[in-house]
Amino acid sequence: MLLFNSKKGKKEQGKLTIPEGLWIKCISCNEIIYKKELERNLDVCPKCNYHFRISAQRRAGIIFDEGSFKRLFEDIFPEDILSFSDTKKYKDRLKEDSEKTGLVESVISGEGLIDNIRVACSIFDFNFMGGSMGRVAGEKVAKTFEYATMERMPVIIFASSGGARMQEGIFSLMQMAETVAMISEYKKISLPYISVLSDPTMGGVSASFASLGDIIIAEPKALIGFAGPRVIEKTIHQNLPEGFQRSEFLLEHGMIDMIVERKDIKNTLRDLLSILINE
Amino acid sequence: MAFQYLDFEKPIIELEQRIEELKTFNLSNVANVGDEIKNLELKRNRLVKDIFEKINNWEITQLSRHPLRPYTMDYIELITDDFIELHGDRGFMDDKSIIGGFCFLKDGETGKRQKVLIIGHQKGRNTKDKMCRNFGMPHPEGYRKAQRLFKLADRYKIPIVSLVDTPGAYPGIGAEERGQAEAIATTIDVLLNVSVPVVSIIIGEGGSGGALALAAGNRVLMMEYSTYSVISPEGCASILYKDTSKTEEAANSLKITARDLFGLKVIDEIISEPLGGAHKNKAEAASNLKNSIIGNLEDLARKDGESLRTDRINKFRNF
Ligand SMILES: [Zn+2]
C-alpha cells in the first residue's frame, strides 16, 4: 500500500532531489530560493507558499517550547520479519534511510510542552522510507495513545506518510487496526486528539489514526487521500482535476476542520488545547 | 444595503432619515435645530412604541426574517472570545449553512470564562453570501457536522449553546439521496442524549424539523421577535387554506411567536429585543442574549450529567 516507491519519490519530492548547496528549487513553482531564507521561513516557499516536507526533528522544534520535547519508546527497532527483498533488501533500505535521516524508524514519539500545555505526540518523517507505517511505527503511535491515556494528556499526531509499509506485509496492514484500537480506548477519557496532516498523508495511514482526530488540521496544499492519484488515473482512465485530493479539496468535502499554515500551527494548537482541555 | 426595511417600518425610517439629515446640516450646533432634532427623536420613539405595541404575528414573522437581523455569526462576534470554527461532516461536504466551534463566552458578572460549543444556522447577507450559506437551509451534512460537534462537546464536558435561524432544512434531490430525514432525526437523538447542559435559542426563523434538530435543549428560549413553527405561514396558507393570500391569517392561527409559545409552555423564556427589533441595536440584543445564556448555564451547572439527560428526555416526553 505504499504509494510512492522511494525511487520515484526521490525524483519528485522536493528536498531530496536538490544537490547540497546554497540554493534550492521549489518543486511547486520552480522558484530558486536561498536555502537560509527557506529555513527562516519554516521551509515554506516564500513565493507560492508550498510547504516543504520537513524532518520530524525540525517539526518538533517548530511545535514545542524550547527544549521541552522528550523522546519516548526509543527501545524498539524495526525488524525484517519477512526477510523481504525487492530491488534491494529491506534490511539495506532500513540501514540506508537510517544513515540518511539519523532516525531508526519513520516515526518519533514523545512528549513536550506547547505554551506550557503538556502533550503526547508522534511525528512522521517522510524522509525515512516515505514515512511508511510498519510494525514499529504503528507500535509507537499506539503507545503514544496508551501513554496519554495513563498520564491524562492530550495527543497530537503529525502524519506525513505514503501509507502502510509493504516490506512488512500483513503486519503493516494490522497497524491500522492496532492504532485505531488504541484511539478508541483513549477516547473514553475527556481529552482531545488532534491530527495534523502534511504532504502527503495516504493509504493505510489516512485510513486509520490520521482520519480519526477529534480535530483534523491540514497544512496547505497537502496531498491527502486513500488511493494515490496515479492509481486512480490508471483505474478510471481519466485525468484528475486540478487540486484533487489536496487540503483545500478535503476542506470543501468536509473531511478536515481547517487548513493552517506552518507559521500559525503552534498558536492554533495552543488555542485549541486551552479551550478543549477542561480541568 | 441602506434601504432595507419592512412596510410597517417605513414611517420610522422616514423620521430617522430626517433626523440624520438635520444632524449632518447642524455641524455648527445651532440651538433651535438641536431642539428640532430632539423633538423628532421623541416623536420617533413614540412612533416605534406605538407600532410595536400593536405588532401582529405576520409583522413579527417578517421581523424574524428581517434582512438586517443579526445572524449566528454576528452574535458569535458580539458575545464570544477566541471562537475556533470547526468544519465538515467527515463524509461529503462542509455545509456552510450550519456553523459551529468552541469558544469562551465574554465575561459575565462573575468574571468566570465560560467555555461553550456554539453552533447555529447561518444565513448570508449579500447575494453571494446567501448562496454560499444556502439561505440558511442545511443539507444532511450540516446536521452531521452538528452531531459530530455535539459528541465532542459531550466528551470534553463543555456546555452546548445552539442558535436556531432557518427557513427549514433544504428540500432538494441530493439532500433526500443522502438522508435528510435520517440526519435530522439522529441530530435530535444525539442532542437529547448528551450529558452536558444544552441551551437552545431561536434567534430568527425556527422553521420546522430543520430548526428542531438544533433546538432539543434543556432550555429553549426565543428572541422576542423570532418565530418557531411546524410550517411557514406561506406553506400553511397554500396547503390548508389553498390560498396564498391567507398568509397573514395563517400566521395568526399558527401561534408561532415567542409570546404565543411561551403561553403554550413550549418555550422557557423570552429574551427581550431593543426597541424596534434586534437589528436596531445589535449590541443590546447580543447583550440580552448573552446574559440569558449565562443565567441558564449557571442554573444547569448545578445538575449532573445524567439528570441533565433525563430532564431533557422528560421535557420533550411531556408534549
Ligand atoms: Zn514555490
This complex has an ipTM of 0.88
Quickly name the fold that domain B60-317 has: 2-enoyl-CoA Hydratase; Chain A, domain 1 (3.90.226)
Instruction: Please state, for a pLDDT cut of 90, what percent of chain B lies above it.
Output: 74
Does domain A54-276 sit in CATH 3.40.50.300? Answer: no
Locate B196 and state its grid cell: 452536558
Helices (H), A74-133: 90-101
Beta strand spans in chain A (E):
23-25, 32-34, 70-72, 107-114, 117-124, 155-161, 193-201, 215-218, 258-259
The CA distance from A12 to A8, in Å, is: 7
DSSP tag of B164: E
| B207: phi then psi, degrees, rounded to nearest 5 | -90, 95
Burial class (CB in 10 A: 0-12, 13-18, 19+), B12: buried
Residues of chain A contacting residue B160, judged by C-beta atoms under 8 Å apart? none
Instruction: Please state, for a pLDDT cut of 70, what percent of chain B lies above it.
Output: 97
pLDDT value of position A12? 47
| B216: phi then psi, degrees, rounded to nearest 5 | -90, 55
- Dihedral angle at the C-alpha atoms of A232, A237, A242, A248, nearest 10 degrees? -30
The CA distance from A204 to A197, in Å, is: 14
The CA distance from A199 to A202, in Å, is: 9
3-state secondary structure of A99: helix
Q: Where are the domains of chain B?
A: 8-54, 60-317
Residues with CB under 5 A from ligand 1 (ion): A 26, 28-29, 31, 45, 47-48, 50
CA distance A71 to chain B (A): 27
DSSP tag of B169: S
> What's the mean pLDDT in B21-36?
78
| Interval B129-175: pLDDT, tens | 999 999 999 999 999 999 999 999 999 999 999 999 999 999 999 99
Locate A68 and state its grid cell: 521541552
Nearest CA in chain A to B88: A254
Question: How far, in Å, from the CA of B193 to the mean position of ligand 1?
Answer: 49
CB contact under 8 A, A276 and B94: no
**Structural contact between residues B147 and B157, judged by C-beta atoms closer than 8 angstroms:** no
CB contact under 8 A, A211 and B90: yes
Is the pLDDT at A128 greater than 70? The verdict is: yes
| A24: phi then psi, degrees, rounded to nearest 5 | -140, 145
Q: How many CB atoms lie within 10 A of CB B152?
A: 18
pLDDT value of position A1? 44
Is the pLDDT at B178 greater than 70? The verdict is: yes
Distances (CA, A) of A268 to A9, A114, B318: 31, 10, 44
In this prediction, residue B111 has a pLDDT band, given cuts at 50, 70 and 90, of: low
Considering only CA atoms, which of B206, B201, B133 is closest in space to residue B166? B206
**Structural contact between residues A275 and B82, judged by C-beta atoms closer than 8 angstroms:** yes
Locate B204 and state its grid cell: 430568527
pLDDT value of position B26? 72
Residues of chain A contacting residue B94, judged by C-beta atoms under 8 Å apart? 251-254
Q: CB-CB: which of A187, A253, A258 is closest to B93? A: A253
Q: Is A155 on the interface with B (CB under 8 A)?
A: no
